[in-house]
Structure 1
Amino acid sequence: MSIQDTELALRLNLLLLDDEQDILNSLKRLLRKDFNIVTFTEGPSAIDYLREHPIDIIISDMRMPIMNGAEFFTHAKDIQPNAIRILLTGYSDMETTIQAINDGGIYTYIGKPWENQELKLLLSQVSEHYLLKKKTRVLNEQLSDANDRLTQFNHTLEQKVTERTAALVQSKNKLSSALKSQNSLLHDVLDMMSTTIEYRTGFGAGHNKRVALQCKGVARYLALDDATCRRIYLCGLLHEIGTVGLSDDVIAKVGVGTGKLDDEFMHHPVIGAKIVARVSRFDALTENIFHQNENVDGTGVPDHLAGDDIPIGARIIRVVKDFDFLIAGKENKQLMSVPDAKSWLMSRADTWYDKVVVSALFSVMNERSDFGEDIEYSVGIEGLKIGDTLLEDLVLTNGNIMLTAGQEITAPMIEKLRNYEDNYDTKITLFIA
C-alpha cells in the first residue's frame, strides 16, 4: 500500500449534502486534506450511498427541495446510527432544527455563514469524540469476551468472578451512560475518572459531583474568577483519585476529617497529584489535590503548609469534603446533623480549616442563590423551603425510605419530618436542589 493510500485509510469518511453545488465545493476545498469526502445534492442519492458505504461524519443542509435535512437525518440515523450527524442551517430554520434534534439525533449544528477555522476546530473535536466512542465499543466487546474466558478459567473462583464481573458490568454501564450524556471529550474523561473513584472507595453515585459543585459554589461566593472556580470544580471531582493506589485495608479505614485518620490514607492526595500530573492539560489541578489535607495551623500533610500558603482550592476542598463526611460519610459511624457538623467545623476554624472558607460554605448552604448551576445543597429541616426538590432518597436508620428522590417539598411534608425528629430524638439531613 502506498503512503497516499495509507493516509486515505486513516482519515474519517465525511458525507456532505447540500442542494447548492457552490457550498459543497467550498466545504470540500476546506476539508479535503483532513477527510475522505463524498458529496451529494439530493437526499435520496445520499441515502442510497449510506446503505452501501460506511460513513463516520455527516453534514447536511436543512433547506433542500426534495428532502429537508430533518427528514434526511431521520433516515440516516436508522441506516448508520453510529455516524456523527451535524446540521448546516440558518437562524430561520429553528422549527425544523428542533425536529432534526428530536428525530434525527444530530450532534450539533453549524450556522450559515460559517467561519472556516471554527468549522475545522469543531470537526476536529467531533472526530476525537467519534474515535473515542468507537474505541469504547471495541473495549466493551473485548471486556465481554474477557469475562467469558474468566468464568471458565477456574471453577473454584466462580463466585468471586461473578461478583467482579457484575461490578465491571455496572461500571461499564455507568461509563456508557456518561459517554451518551456528555458532548465533549473532557467531560467524558472526567466522568470516567469520577466513576472509578466511587467504585474504588465505595461511596454512593454522585458523591464526587456533590462535593465538586459545592466547592465551586464556595469559590463563587468568595468571588474567585471563573477560571479558578472551574479549576476548583475539576479538583473537587478528582480529589480522591489517589485512592486507586491504596490497598483495600486502607480504603476500609476512610475517615476524612475526623482527626482519627490512617497515616497511609492521609497521603492519598500525593498519589492523586502524581496521577493527575500525567495528563498535561490537568497540570493546574495538581497543587489543590496535593495539599487538600493541610491544616491552616501548619500541622497537616504532606508539606505542613499554613494559612494562605495553602492553595485556596485545597482549603475549599478540605472544608467541603469534611463537611460531607460528617453528615453523609459512608464509613462514618457517628453521622452528625447539619447544625452539629457546622458547629464541629467552626470549632476547628483557624486550626484545621480556613475560617473564611467555613463561613462561605455555611452561607452557600443558607442563601442558595446563584452559586452554581445544579448544585446539591445539604440541609437539615431548618433549612428546607417549600418547593425544594429532593435529590436523594431519605433513608431512615432502620433502612426504610421515608421520601424518594424527585419529590417536591411541601408544608405537610416538613411538619411530618419535624414530628419524626421529635418522636425519635434524631436529626435528619436532606440533599435538595
Structure 2
Amino acid sequence: MFSNKLNLDDFMLGLAKRNPHEPEFYQAVYEVAQSVIPYINHHPEYIDARILERMTEPDRIISFRVCWEDDEGHIRVNRGYRVQFNNAIGPYKGGLRFTSHLTLDTLKFLGFEQTFKNSLTTLPLGAAKGGSDFNPKGKSDREVMRFCQSFMSELHKHIGVYTDIPAGDIGVGGREISYLFGQYKRLENQFQGVLTGKGLEYGGSLIRKEATGFGTTYFMEEILKEHGSSLEGKKCVISGSGNVALYTAEKVMQLGGHVLAMSDSSGTIHIPDGISREQLDWLIDLKENRRGRIQEFAEHFQCEFLPDTKVWGIPCQIAFACATQNELEKSDAQQLIKNGCIAVAEGANMPSTLEAVHLFKKNNILFAPAKAANAGGVAVSGLEMTQNSMRLSWSMEELEDRLKTIMQKIHSQCIKYGRGEGETIDYVRGANIAGFKKVADAMLAYGVV
C-alpha cells in the first residue's frame, strides 16, 4: 500500500511527464491539487487507492475524422473529439465546443474541471467534454448542418442517455444542437434526451440558455449575502457577450446591480450609468440572432467603444469573468484591485490565471471559482435530463427556484470545506474539496476499476 504523504511538486512532475505540452490541463490540475492534497494527506485511504492520480486520467479519449461538403462542393476535413473523463457518480455530462483552435489540452482541462463542477451540483452527473476544430462562424446554415450530421454519425456510437449526454458550449448553440439531435434520432430511430440544450419543441428546458449566467449571479449574491452585502446598487463589469455574459447581465440588473461594461474579442463597450433593459435586449438580439460585433452596439447607442481593450480597467465593485479561459491575467487583477473591486466571479471556465487568483486571495477579494460559480448551466442540463426522463416540462418559475436552490447548496458546500481561521472562507479550497470528496468516495466504493 502507498502510505507516504502526497507532495504537490512531485505529483505535478508526474502529471507533466504523463501529459507533456498540455499547459491548460496542467494549470487546471494544479489549481485543484494545491487545495486537495493537504486534505488527502489527512485521509490515507485516498492515498493508498491513488485516487487523485486516477482522477487526473480520463476514462477514455475518442478522436475521429469528420468529413463534410461545403457550399462550393469542396470536401472539408476536421477532427472530432470526446473526452469521457469520469463517470463515478453518473453518466458522462459536458459540452461540445466548435472552434478552430480547439486542442486536446483544452478538452482535458475542461473535462477535469467538469468532474468537480458536476459533483458540486449534487446531481448524479459524470464529466466529459468534446467538440471539433470546426469553426461555425461565417458558415451557412447548410454547411453547419452537413458538418453536424457528419460529426454525429461518428459520435452517436459513444453516447446515450445512460452513457454520455453532451450539451452545447462555445460555437455550439441551439442551431447546432438541433442538427446534432436530428441526426442522432435519424441514426438510432429513438427519441431520447441524449443531448441537452435542445429546443423547447423537442424536449428542451426553459432557462437552459440563461442558466449559466443566472447561476453565476445567484452564487455571487450568496457570497455577498454571507458577507453582509448584496448586488443592489453595485457597479459591475462583465467580460464577454455570449450566453453566459448576456444572462449574467440580465440577472445582475434584476437584482439591482449596474452593468457598466461588456466586451467581445474586438473590444469593450462602456456605459457609465449602466446598460438599460432596452440596450441589453438589443445586444442579445445582436449576438444571438444577427451574430454581430459589439462595436455595432456602440455605434447604435453612441456609447464609448474601447477597441482591443478588456473590461478590467473600468472601475467597478464586482467583476464577472464570462468570456474564455485565462482572459483575466495578473496585470488585470492588479488593475481591478487598484480600482476598488471587492469581488470576482468566474462565469467562464478557468478565466483567471493562477497568478490572478493568488493576487485576489492575497488581497482578500471575494473570489467565486468557475467550478462553483459556473455550475448553473450543467445544473439545468441535469434538470432537462430529468424532465426528459419523466416526459414532462417544468415552468420557468419552478426551474429558477430549483437553480437558485442548487447554487445555494453549492455555496453551502464551499463554506463547509473552505472555512478557515478567523471565519475567513476560501471558496477555491471549499469548491475543490467538496467536489473531490463525492467523486473520490464513489471511486473508493467501486474498488480498483
By the TM > 0.5 criterion, same fold?
Answer: no
Give the structure, 1 or 2, with the largest relative contact order (CA under 8 Å, sep 6 or more): 2
Give the number of the structure whose residues are more often strand, by fraction. 2
TM norm structure 2: 0.29
Give the number of the structure whose residues are more often helix, by fraction. 1
TM norm structure 1: 0.30
